[in-house]
Amino acid sequence: MSASSLCVVATAFFALGAVWFTGKAHGVRAAGTPPAHIGARPEPVATRERIDLRQPLRALAVTHGATLAQRGIGLDLRLPEDPLPVAVIAGDLPQLMAHIADAAAATLPQGTTLHVLARAEGHQAVISWREATIDSDTDAPRLSRAFETSASRAATPRIHACRAIVARHGARIYTAPSPLGDGCLTLRFPLYGDRAVRAPKGLL
């Protein structure tokens, strides 16, 4: 075999050896590196607790009653005698009620009374919010309309926060009639447990 042929064969063996070594090293690295999802820790699930929905509403009168009064807005709470148990993330309900009250303060004019009616309907706890002005002006700002249109810049961040909390609990916030009248801002949470009350027709 000539010297040139030996050189070609040696070069070929060297190239094959380099390819084998590179593949071996890559395989070791791949085997020693677990997929990204294996080492990732799952996000903790927020713990929910049983709360009587009347509690944050009573607290609202204490925490926001004076602020609303300073803006010329009265607060009328109508709560049932029986509890309204719901399963929620700790701290979310007080924040939700505070955001709604702040949105009302930023939206409603002086001389308005904000009526709040809580009750059980079917398997849901329901809160209706409706304003009443002294002069009964039909063109006066409505809290429910503010939630529908997000037209008030001052109230918009509060409205977005309310929607986020409601969505997190599988609840609903929308406009619907109630015993207070039409155009109510309506909040519905699933009742905790087996309690069920028949809802008046046309109020769902």
Give the model's pLDDT for residue 16: 45
Distance CA 101, CA 64 (A): 7
Do 94 and 175 belong to one domain? yes
Do 93 and 10 belong to one domain? no
- Split at pLDDT 50, 70, 90, the class of 136 is low
- Out of 41-55, 151-165, 178-192, which region has the weakest mean confidence (pLDDT)? 41-55
Write out the residue range of the structural domain in which residue 20 sits.
Answer: 3-39
Please answer whether residues 131 and 104 qualify as being in contact, where contact means their C-beta atoms are separated by less than 8 angstroms. Answer: yes
pTM over 0.75: no
Give the model's pLDDT for residue 8: 41
Q: Which residue has the tokens 């000539």?
A: 2
- Split at pLDDT 50, 70, 90, the class of 150 is low
186 within some domain:
yes
- Note the residue count of the chain: 204
- The CATH number given to whatever domain includes residue 140 is 3.30.565.10
Give the model's pLDDT for residue 61: 92
Give the model's pLDDT for residue 64: 94
Number of domains in the chain: 2
User: Is the confidence at residue 175, as pLDDT, over 50?
Assistant: yes
* Range 107-138 burial, b when 16+ CB lie within 10 A, else e: bbeeebebbbbbbbbeebbbbbbbbeeeeeee
